[in-house]
Amino acid sequence: MNKAKHPLIRLHGVTKRYGATVALDNVDFSCFPAEIHAILGENGAGKSTLMKLLSGVIQPSEGDVFVDEEIIRLKSPGHAIDRGLICMFQELSLVPDLSVRENLLLGAKDARYGFAKKHHLADARVLLDKIDASHVQLSTRVSDLTLAERQQVEIAKALSRQPRLLILDEATSALNSTVVEKVFDLIREQRDRGTGVLFISHRFHEIEAIADKISVFRNGQHIETFANGQYNYGAIINKMVGQSLTELFPTPAPRTISSTVLTLDSLSWNGEIKDVSIDVKAGQILGLGGLDGQGQNHVLQALFGLLKHTTGDAAVNGTQGMPRSPKAAKGKKYGLAWVPEDRKKEGLILEQSIQDNLQLAALGHASAPAQAVFEKLISSLELKYQSLEQPVAALSGGNQQKVSLIKWLVISPTCLLLSDPTRGIDVKTKTQIYQLLVELSKQGIAIILLSSDYEELVHLCHQVHIFYDGEIVDTLSDESLNAQNIIAASLNMHKKSSEAHA
């Protein structure tokens, strides 16, 4: 880091308000060329607002943005791109109906509305190959790609635009560690060429691995900037949360002998679920693990009545057979509830009020829950809101997830199905959700927790099934339930020894 150089971008007294909410509060912040600068903070700390500001998506309410020490008003993303400020957004900026090729060219500085030049694509192809995406063809439609492949394309798109400042907002959340390492190599290469990099991630070990500098944000304020390695994990977490955080994971409820709530006997569907058998008891937290898209989510969808023509036997809550719709699944006969992974499109109705969302699942349900039930859950999860009439879209991601959980808990399900409930959520909300799950299991609710975070599986679950290619390839519990075994089984490389435990 060359201290003599002037900062690439500098924020001076920047404030951003949304109505009464202050998203950024009088922030001074600089990023220098040739440094990888990580931004840490809980959800709602202002990280995303900062990124949107620098990429021209929004404009500050007060204060100035300097690029190369010159005041600039970034009117639009196009304007920012022209200045070399390239952002890779958390909400992917790829157009689903266009091909990979067209997406790579979309909005490029010198081919925005005119015709593209050959080198644009050649550059992107090289970049794609470098990050293990050589199998991605340029003519494929983006909607046919997996989430991980889309992120790879997104990275290639950003890097091919010769950024001066590269902003990565949760850019690697769906990528596995080998690919992440390759992406990091490219980012380091960029840095060595003089590019400034702003890096947001919830994966702390990634930040540890790549950042030169770390800035912590909290409640819209810039708390502190320090060199990577200056503080330990605990100290940094404390800065983010503003108070000392006790254990991340609560002690799991002891496993007691109880009755079976849900059984699946050799469930198969469409070649994507193969012969899966599951048995969940009251008060048990059963984990479903494995790489993305190995059939574990389909099992939850099947249980919730979304898949047609499944084979195999099922019994839920004493009822034989699979429910045939979510309406049947949530009914008293089955007593199921499913919190889908995509809270914005599937879990919630963003335009509607918190109140309306909370009531939607219980609406028309045989026993309408009392207002007190809502209030108790709201306070136990510490849902932060100004008014129950405000639209859910105005809440932070973590609080949105709380709403989609409460919505289901009010109908008191006997078995709760969760698809990656903590993905992209801040540490504090995570611990609250963990606490809640343990609490629920103590109350005797059966929980099936699908998670891509092996720490969750290790610390919360009584038993974990690992999926690979639609099958359960390993079942872990007690001593065998550890990170190494989960990772090995996820890659279908588990040894006989771990099978012996199951």
Nearest approach in angstroms of CB 106 to another protein is: 5
Give the amino acid at 163.
Answer: P
On whether the CB atoms of residues 498 and 485 are closer than 8 A, the answer is: yes
User: Which residue number, 298 or 462, has a Cβ lying nearer to another protein?
Assistant: 298
Residue 227 to residues 39, 79, 207, 212, Cα–Cα distance (Å): 12, 31, 12, 6
Q: How many C-beta neighbours within 10 Å does residue 128 have?
A: 25
Strand partners, 446: 415
Near another protein by CB under 8 A, which window of 93-101, 222-230, 243-251, 430-438? 93-101
**Residue 25, burial from CB neighbour count under 10 angstroms (0-12, 13-18, 19+):** middle
Nearest approach in angstroms of CB 375 to another protein is: 16
User: Which residue number, 114 or 254, has a Cβ lying nearer to another protein?
Assistant: 114
Provide CB contacts within 8 A for 100, sequence distance 6+.
136, 137, 138, 139, 140, 141, 142, 145, 153
List binders of another protein among 241-260 (CB under 8 A).
none
Binding characters for another protein, 376-415, by CB under 8 A (x = yes): -----------xxx-----------------x--------
Strand partners, 30: 10
Our finding on whether 192 is near another protein (CB under 8 A) is: no
User: Which residue number, 81 or 278, has a Cβ lying nearer to another protein?
Assistant: 81
On whether the CB atoms of residues 41 and 397 are closer than 8 A, the answer is: no
User: Which residue number, 34 or 138, has a Cβ lying nearer to another protein?
Assistant: 138
How far apart CA 210 and CA 184 sit, in angstroms, is: 7
From 7, 12, 72, 102, residue interacting with another protein (rule: CB under 8 A): 102
Our finding on whether 326 is near another protein (CB under 8 A) is: yes
On whether the CB atoms of residues 212 and 225 are closer than 8 A, the answer is: no
How far apart CA 135 and CA 149 sit, in angstroms, is: 9
Q: Name the one residue in this structure whose structure tokens are 């390759």.
A: 182
From 93, 260, 277, 319, residue interacting with another protein (rule: CB under 8 A): 93
From 6, 135, 205, 345, residue interacting with another protein (rule: CB under 8 A): 345
Angle between helical axes of 118-130 and 147-159 (0-180°, round to 10): 130
On whether the CB atoms of residues 361 and 410 are closer than 8 A, the answer is: yes
- Binding residues with another protein: total (CB under 8 A): 70
Q: Please state whether beta strands 311-316 and 260-269 pair in parallel, antiparallel, or not at all (unpaired).
A: antiparallel
Residue (of 286, 364, 354) closest to 330 by Cα position = 364
List binders of another protein among 155-184 (CB under 8 A).
157
User: Which residue number, 35 or 169, has a Cβ lying nearer to another protein?
Assistant: 169
Our finding on whether 348 is near another protein (CB under 8 A) is: yes
From 119, 139, 251, 496, residue interacting with another protein (rule: CB under 8 A): 139
User: Which residue number, 112 or 495, has a Cβ lying nearer to another protein?
Assistant: 112
Provide CB contacts within 8 A for 345, sequence distance 6+.
none
From 1, 22, 34, 57, residue interacting with another protein (rule: CB under 8 A): 57
User: Which residue number, 60 or 77, has a Cβ lying nearer to another protein?
Assistant: 77
User: Which residue number, 198 or 460, has a Cβ lying nearer to another protein?
Assistant: 198
Is the CA virtual torsion 158, 164, 168, 174 positive or negative? Answer: positive
Residue 258 to residues 277, 284, 337, Cα–Cα distance (Å): 19, 9, 20
How far apart CA 61 and CA 17 sit, in angstroms, is: 6
User: Which residue number, 359 or 435, has a Cβ lying nearer to another protein?
Assistant: 359
3-state helix/strand/coil string of 35-72: CEEEEECCCCCCHHHHHHHHCCCCCCCEEEEEECCEEE
Nearest approach in angstroms of CB 412 to another protein is: 14
**Residue 113, burial from CB neighbour count under 10 angstroms (0-12, 13-18, 19+):** exposed
Nearest approach in angstroms of CB 347 to another protein is: 6
User: Which residue number, 39 or 86, has a Cβ lying nearer to another protein?
Assistant: 86
Our finding on whether 58 is near another protein (CB under 8 A) is: no
User: Which residue number, 264 or 473, has a Cβ lying nearer to another protein?
Assistant: 264
List binders of another protein among 104-133 (CB under 8 A).
105-109, 111-116
Our finding on whether 360 is near another protein (CB under 8 A) is: yes
Our finding on whether 38 is near another protein (CB under 8 A) is: no
User: Which residue number, 92 or 427, has a Cβ lying nearer to another protein?
Assistant: 92
**Residue 277 structure tokens:** 């058998």
Binding characters for another protein, 288-317, by CB under 8 A (x = yes): -------------x--xxxxxx--------
From 40, 94, 174, 207, residue interacting with another protein (rule: CB under 8 A): 94
**Residue 489 structure tokens:** 């089984």
R_g over Cα of the chain: 24
Our finding on whether 91 is near another protein (CB under 8 A) is: yes
Nearest approach in angstroms of CB 19 to another protein is: 10
Nearest approach in angstroms of CB 39 to another protein is: 18
Which positions touch another protein (CB under 8 A)? 55, 57, 76-78, 80-82, 87, 89, 91-98, 102-103, 105-109, 111-116, 139, 141, 157, 269-270, 301, 304-309, 325-327, 329-331, 338, 340, 345-352, 356, 359-361, 363-365, 387-389, 407
